[in-house]
């Protein structure tokens, strides 16, 4: 894993418009933005940390806690909504005991609601890390989660 400095070195110009790309790169690498990272970026780009924090909390791709071992993205696009994805979301929340943007205590699962994933014909859709699951039903979701849980036992 490269350290922060390596990421920062890719941006030789101290310009405010580099802020979002820098943060994106850091998150791609570390999974989230730590306080340490924000302080470092602030020093590098000569920006007050409150401005970085204010910006990062504005955009919903930025997160401040690590992702779970299994990061679950559930599509909450319009089409999935009209295909009753709320039942799936409820089931996920019930099964995992967490809500959107949260992580389970054991660090295994984290949940994220996203906008359209472009598979509207197959909704409701979700992804666990890079694996996609389509045409979800409550039963199917329960099975999927259970299978991941049993892999950990």
Partner 1 sequence: MSEKVNFKYKDFLIENVLKLKSDKPEKEVVAQLNLIQRKTIDKPVITVSINSSSIISGVQKLKTDIEEYLVDRNIDAEIIPVGSLGLSSLEPVISIQLPGKTRLFYKKVLPENVISILDGSFNNFIQEENILGQLKNDIQDAWEQVPFLDELAYFQNQQRLILKNCGFINPESIEEYIASGGYKSFYKVISKNTPEEVCDIIEKSMLRGRGGEGYLTGKKWKIAYKTPSDQKYLICNAGESDPGAFMERLLIESDPHKVVEGIAISAYAIGVKKAYIYIESEYDLAIERVKNAIAQAKEFGLLGHDILESGYNLEIIIKKGAGAYVCGEETALISSLEGKRGKPHSKPPYPATKGLYNQPTVVNNIETLVNVPIIIEKGIEWYKSVGTKDSKGTKVFSISGKVEYTGLVEIEMGTKLRDVIFRVAGGIKNGKRFKAVHIGGPSGGSLTEKHLDTLIDYESIMLTGVSLGSSGMVVLDEDNCIIDMVKYFMNFMQKESCGICIPCREGTRRMHEILENISKRPKDENGHTTLQRFKGVMQLESLAEVLKDTSMCGLGKKASNPVLSTLKWFRDEYEEHIFERNCEAGVCQELRTFEIDVDVCNGCTLCAKKCPTGAIFGTVKNVHFIVQDKCIGCGICFETCKFSAIISK
Partner 2 sequence: MLIDIEVNNKKIQAKKGETILETLNRNGIKVPTLCRMDGFTPTGACRMCVVEAEGKSGLIPSCSYQIEEPIKIRTHSPRVIQARKMLVELLLSNHPDDCLYCASNGNCQLQDLAVELNIRERRISGEKTKASLDQSSPGIVRDPAKCILCGRCVRVCEEVMNVFTFDFYKRGNKTAIATSMNKDLNFSNCINCGQCLLVCPTGALYEKTNLDIVQQMLNNTDVTVIAQYSPSISVSIADELGLRSGKDINGVLNAVLRRIGFNKVFDTSFAADVAIFEQSAELADRIKNDENLPMMSSCCPGWIKYMEQSHPDMIDHISTTKSPQQILGTLIKSYFAQREDISPEKIFSISIMPCTAKKFEAQREEMTHKGISDIDVVLTTRELLKLIKLYGVDAQSLDEEMPDIPFNTRSSAGKMVSVTGGVAEGVARTLNYHLTGKELPNIKITKLRGFKDRKEVSVKIGKQEIGIAVVSGLKSANKLIAEIREGKSDIHFIEIMACPGGCINGGGQAFNNDEKTLKARSKTIYDLDDKEAINVAHKNSNLISLYNEFLGEQLSEKCIKLLHTKYSKRDVLL
Are the C-beta atoms of 56 and 23 separated by less than 8 Å?
yes
Q: Does 24 bind partner 1 (CB under 8 A)?
A: yes
Rg (CA), the chain: 18
Q: Does 125 bind partner 1 (CB under 8 A)?
A: yes
Query: What minimum distance in Å lies between the beta carbon of 22 and partner 2?
Result: 17
Q: Report the run of H or E that residue 75 belongs to, with start and end.
A: strand 70-75
Distance between CA 136 and CA 85 in Å, rounded? 8
Nearer to partner 2, 66 or 142 (CB): 66
- Taking the complex as a whole, the smallest distance from the CB of residue 124 to partner 1 amounts, in Å, to 12
Q: How far is the CB of 39 from partner 2 (least distance, A)?
A: 7
Contacts with partner 2, residue ranges (CB under 8 A): 35, 38-39, 42, 48-54, 57-58
């Amino acid at each position: 894993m490269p350290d922060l400095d390596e990421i920062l070195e890719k941006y030789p110009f101290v310009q405010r418009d580099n802020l979002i790309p820098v943060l994106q790169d850091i998150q791609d690498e570390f999974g989230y933005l730590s306080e340490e990272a924000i302080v470092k970026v602030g020093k590098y780009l000569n920006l007050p940390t409150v401005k970085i924090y204010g910006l990062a909390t504005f955009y919903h791709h930025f997160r401040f806690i690590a992702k779970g071992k299994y990061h679950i993205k559930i599509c909450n696009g319009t089409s999935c909504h009209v295909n009753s994805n709320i039942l799936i979301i409820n089931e996920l929340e019930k099964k995992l005991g967490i809500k959107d943007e949260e992580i389970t205590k054991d660090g295994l699962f984290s949940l994220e609601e996203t906008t359209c994933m472009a598979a509207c014909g197959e909704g409701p859709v979700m992804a666990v890390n890079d694996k996609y699951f389509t045409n979800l039903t409550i039963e199917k979701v329960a099975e999927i989660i259970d299978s991941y849980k049993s892999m950990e036992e």
